[in-house]
Amino acid sequence: MSKRHEIRLSGSGGQGMITAGVILAEAAGVYDGQNVVQSQSYGPEARGGASKAEVIISDQEIHFTKATAIDILLAMTQEAWDKYSHDLKSDGVAVVDSFYVKEVDRPGVHKLPLAQMARQEVGIEMVANIIALGAIAGITKVVTRESLEKAVMSRIPKGTEDKNRQALEIGFRLAAGV
């Protein structure tokens, strides 16, 4: 039986959802050898508008490249949850940032302090997207830890390796506590 995962990473512009999508796709495709399609959309605002990246990962050829039945959802803001959670499968996995997403209308959602941990432990909220990727990979095993770390290190700005490695570790630690 084929394994196909439709993943939606959503938040607001400036939270790194597009970057996170590219990293996740690279981890799955380049390092784990899966078939991958990645797409993105965002509002006209550079920062603050709705933003999402979608990644489809499959062990088979991907013929339909639109994510319509979401297996894994990340919502970094309340607006993202409200706008993008409607097509999460009933058995889908949802991860939300507990600091920004207060109202969740379904049980079983993983409410994690992504931005809070980024600020407190790394000193910069900008790495919350990397924490989220670590948490998603740890919870779902959609990509291997090794492939995700390689993809993160290949995509981040030089000089930020330690902070991003720390962020990834926080994400895996949060996933272990779920």
Band (pLDDT 50/70/90 cuts) for residue 111 is very high
* Radius of gyration (C-alpha) of the chain in whole angstroms: 15
Phi-psi region of 155 (alpha: psi -120 to 50; beta: other; left: phi over 0): alpha
pLDDT in the model for residue 74: 98
Measured CA to CA, the distance from residue 10 to residue 77 in angstroms comes to: 8
Measured CA to CA, the distance from residue 54 to residue 70 in angstroms comes to: 9
pLDDT tens sequence across 115-150: 999 999 999 999 999 999 999 999 999 999 999 999
CATH fold group of domain 4-176: Pyruvate-ferredoxin Oxidoreductase; domain 3 (3.40.920)
pLDDT in the model for residue 42: 72
Q: Report which DSSP code applies to 74.
A: E
Q: What number of other Cβ atoms are within 10 A of residue 161's Cβ?
A: 12
Q: Which of 42-46, 53-57, 114-118, 122-126 has the least mean pLDDT?
A: 42-46
**Domain range summary for the chain, segments of one domain joined by +:** 4-176
pTM exceeds 0.85, yes or no: yes
Contact yes or no for 125/89 (Cβ under 8 A): no
